[in-house]
Chain A
Amino acid sequence: RKEVEQDPGPFNVPEGATVAFNCTYSNSASQSFFWYRQDCRKEPKLLMSVYSSGNEDGRFTAQLNRASQYISLLIRDSKLSDSATYLCVVNVAGGSYIPTFGRGTSLIVHP
């Protein structure tokens, strides 16, 4: 089983839709979690950190479920510019924080 798993998609949604991605992780000792966005042939960019109590940043909401070992990202009112790959990142602790990436979920927002 991979350490961090994501559905690669693609998720095809119309503008204005709400879309949610999940990401599961295997190491219960994981301590910090992030969502990154990656545009085609560009580097990943930090979208948001994921706090234990969940957090919101504008149209984006991140949730953490430690019991079931998954994190989620909800995007409301999708824009064309949201089209990208969304990477889930888990920091596996134990002396060193090593950001471990999922393979990413592709989102395509169409008019």
Chain B
Amino acid sequence: ETGVTQSPTHLIKTRGQQVTLRCSSQSGHNTVSWYQQALGQGPQFIFQYYREEENGRGNFPPRFSGLQFPNYSSELNVNALELDDSALYLCASSLLGQDLPEAFFGQGTRLTVV
């Protein structure tokens, strides 16, 4: 087990609604990255948080936003949900500053937008 936990594991939402996904990072890690993985594709980088600040962002619209808390846990918020937002959302925890910053994933949240 990686020690990275995500909640909820599954979620069904209606188009136009808002959703908040949560991630608890591995003990000792200071960085959380969020990914969206559609079926048959690799994980696509949404954004990364380091010490409570956004530390990089992928090609996602502003309705995707996030937070990192002092204990390094994190939230991903998506507003105005669209059908194409249906995907597996993965959170990865890592320790920035080491030579090989290996990332460890939570089990993911499977979001279905109907």
B-contact bits for A62-106, CB 8 A (1 contact / 0 none): 000000000000000000000000010101000111111111100
Q: A32-B100, A96-B96 are in contact. Are A103 and B105 (CB under 8 A)?
A: no
Residues in A neighbouring B42, C-beta threshold 8 A: 4, 6, 87, 101-104
Taking a contact as CB atoms under 8 Å apart, the answer to whether A32 and B99 are in contact is yes
A-contact bits for B13-44, CB 8 A (1 contact / 0 none): 00000000000000000010101000011111
Taking a contact as CB atoms under 8 Å apart, the answer to whether A98 and B100 are in contact is no
A87: nearest residue on chain B (CB-CB)? B42
B77 within 8 A of A: no
Q: A96-B56, A96-B96, A97-B101 are in contact. Are A103 and B107 (CB under 8 A)?
A: no
A92: nearest residue on chain B (CB-CB)? B56
Taking a contact as CB atoms under 8 Å apart, the answer to whether A49 and B102 are in contact is yes
Taking a contact as CB atoms under 8 Å apart, the answer to whether A98 and B33 are in contact is yes
Complex formed: what's the CA distance from A34 to B100 in Å? 9
B-contact bits for A24-50, CB 8 A (1 contact / 0 none): 000000001010000001111110010
Q: A49-B100, A87-B42, A98-B45 are in contact. Are A43 and B90 (CB under 8 A)?
A: yes
What would 23 A/B residue contacts be, using CB atoms closer than 8 Å?
A8-B40, A32-B100, A34-B102, A34-B103, A43-B90, A43-B107, A43-B108, A44-B43, A44-B90, A45-B105, A46-B103, A49-B100, A49-B102, A87-B43, A91-B101, A96-B96, A97-B31, A97-B101, A98-B45, A99-B45, A101-B35, A103-B42, A104-B42
Taking a contact as CB atoms under 8 Å apart, the answer to whether A101 and B43 are in contact is yes
Complex formed: what's the CA distance from A98 to B99 in Å? 13
How many chain-B residues does the 8 Å CB contact rule pick out? 29
| In-complex Cβ contact of B55 among A4, A43, A96, A101 (8 A) | A96
Residues in A neighbouring B103, C-beta threshold 8 A: 34, 46, 89, 99
Q: Which of B43, B55, B90, B107 has the most CB of A within 10 A?
A: B43
- Expressed in whole angstroms, the minimum distance between the Cβ of B3 and any Cβ of chain A is 13
Residues in B neighbouring A43, C-beta threshold 8 A: 90, 105-108
